[in-house]
Amino acid sequence: MFAEVLTVGDELLTGNTVDSNSAFIAKRLTERGHWVRRKTTVGDDVEEIKAVVREILARKPEVLVISGGLGPTHDDVTMLAVAEALGRKLVLCEPCLERIRQFYRELYAKGLIDDPELNEARKKMAYLPEGAEPLENTEGAAPGAYIEHNGVKIFVLPGMPREMKAMLEREVLPRLGSRKFVQRKLLAEITDESKLAPILNETLERFNVRIHSSPKGFGRYIGIILFGENEEEIEKAKAFMESKGIRFEEGW
Amino acid sequence: MFAEVLTVGDELLTGNTVDSNSAFIAKRLTERGHWVRRKTTVGDDVEEIKAVVREILARKPEVLVISGGLGPTHDDVTMLAVAEALGRKLVLCEPCLERIRQFYRELYAKGLIDDPELNEARKKMAYLPEGAEPLENTEGAAPGAYIEHNGVKIFVLPGMPREMKAMLEREVLPRLGSRKFVQRKLLAEITDESKLAPILNETLERFNVRIHSSPKGFGRYIGIILFGENEEEIEKAKAFMESKGIRFEEGW
């Protein structure tokens, strides 16, 4: 049971934008008990997006969250590419179109744009892959999409962080059930890193936890993150490691 | 001719760390005339890293930059995974071992660690895939590796940003030749996004440039980035678009 994240945008591939979206999505998925196994980023290119979506589906994740490329400009092609990858048509979502019309009217009323009318570019955002459930965008024009496809829950979200975050919280997470992971950050004092590995491995065998580690302070400390389904399991795993001689400080 | 970037680290998949490394690498590669076509992130897992390295090599990029997982802890497995993906053995790099020994002696002399001696975990960092050229790490213990494999230039760098950046500048970029791209950011005033697309497409056909665009200010502006081999080509492309009625402001 694992998840994948796909972010789409040329600006991510030229380094003009740091991809904080995928970290945010990964963090929230992890908290909800979904391990992210891989993150991928491709540009605003139908063939590239199509290819990577097919590759991801072949790995059969439980959840795939895609972010970016839903806007009105000519290089916003994610919905089209996802539809093609799934062998579905793009079809007009009438309530989405009405919502988009309303959105631009409100922007016009506030003096933020010069033209309130729907044009081809704005209309384009109302087309979703056939069978998709529209996801409401409370912060912008473009709706997202939720598609169940061969057992994979696919969510297509906007790339603007404010829009993506709101949609993730309101529309995605409630569809992922109630599983949760808690995590605890610990700092382990250690002088020989090679002594830690067997203890970590034994802990993994005995308890229902996952452990990530990374060196801190030139190897004097190892930063540990313990993930588990509840605090009790984490506490037991920590006590076991302490019984093996590891000294911990909380947090880092 | 394109490049790919692979970042490795569990902390990137749990969202505990935002992957700014891949953005930095992508920016510098783009500036040096190497388009990044895809970025991938996987965890500290030999099989995962091996699988993704093989997938990337099958796409035949000119350059592959890998970052993360070179340290002394048990979950630093990138060199092993890269070696296995390439069907090469890990072999001891004697000068690397000497450099690592020296590095820990200096940390010990500064009082930063309690034990100056090489242990298995520290020694591990001196093993590189057979035939690799070691890349000097001026900021940390673990050397990087440069491997030419079936026409792909593979660079394996540490994940600590300070170490990765120094190695990229000193060891990677000088091996990538003298090609360069310049970029110019422009803000295009536009009320109907759909009118912009044909002009951009005509510009792409006539001039040796690449164009990225993204909406700014609710579609009143479109942010444009023009990439080209020199300022003259960019200037010509900009003048052409202006002749078609687009008004630009510099920068955004």
Identify any residues that bridge with A67 across adjacent strands, giving them in sequence order.
A7, A157
Chain B partners within 8 Å of A38 (Cβ): 13, 40-42, 48, 52
Q: Which of B19, B41, B192 sits opposite A115 (nearest CB)?
A: B192
C-alpha A237: how far from chain center: 28
Is the CB of B33 inside 8 Å of chain A's CB atoms? no
Domain boundaries, chain A: 3-176, 182-250
Is the CB of A56 inside 8 Å of chain B's CB atoms? no
Chain B partners within 8 Å of A80 (Cβ): none
Alpha helices in chain A (DSSP H): 10-13, 20-31, 46-58, 78-85, 94-109, 120-124, 161-167, 193-206, 231-243
Topology given in CATH for the domain delimited by A3-176: Molybdenum Cofactor Biosythetic Enzyme; Chain A (3.40.980)
Q: Which of B28, B115, B191 sits opposite A115 (nearest CB)?
A: B191
Q: Which of B15, B43, B112 sits opposite A27 (nearest CB)?
A: B15
Q: What is the pLDDT of residues A102-147, one digit of tens each?
A: 999 999 999 888 888 998 889 999 999 999 999 999 999 999 999 9
Topology given in CATH for the domain delimited by B182-250: Alpha-Beta Plaits (3.30.70)
Count of A-B CB contacts under 8 Å: 201
Is the CB of A204 inside 8 Å of chain B's CB atoms? no
* CA triple A88-A93-A95, angle to 5 deg: 160
φ and ψ at A208, to 5 degrees?
Answer: -90, 65
Give the separation between CA A137 and CA A79, rounded to whole angstroms.
15
Q: What is the pLDDT of residues A234-252, one digit of tens each?
A: 999 999 999 998 989 887 7
Is the CB of B107 inside 8 Å of chain A's CB atoms? yes
Chain B partners within 8 Å of A28 (Cβ): 15
Which of B8, B46, B52, B193 to probe by mutation at the A interface, max A CB count within 10 Å? Answer: B193
Is the CB of B27 inside 8 Å of chain A's CB atoms? yes
pLDDT in tens, chain B (252 residues): 899 999 999 999 999 999 999 999 999 999 999 999 999 999 999 999 999 999 999 999 999 999 999 988 888 999 999 999 999 999 999 999 999 999 999 999 998 888 889 988 899 999 999 999 999 999 999 999 999 999 999 999 999 999 999 999 999 999 998 888 889 999 988 766 667 888 988 999 999 898 888 777 666 788 889 999 899 999 999 999 999 989 898 877
Task: Give the dihedral sign, CA B25/B13/A37/A203.
Answer: positive
ipTM: 0.91
Give the separation between CA A7 and CA A13, rounded to whole angstroms.
10
Task: Give the distance from residue B163's alpha carbon to the nearest chain A alpha carbon, in angstroms.
Answer: 13
Q: Which of A44, A191, A212 sits opposite B115 (nearest CB)?
A: A191
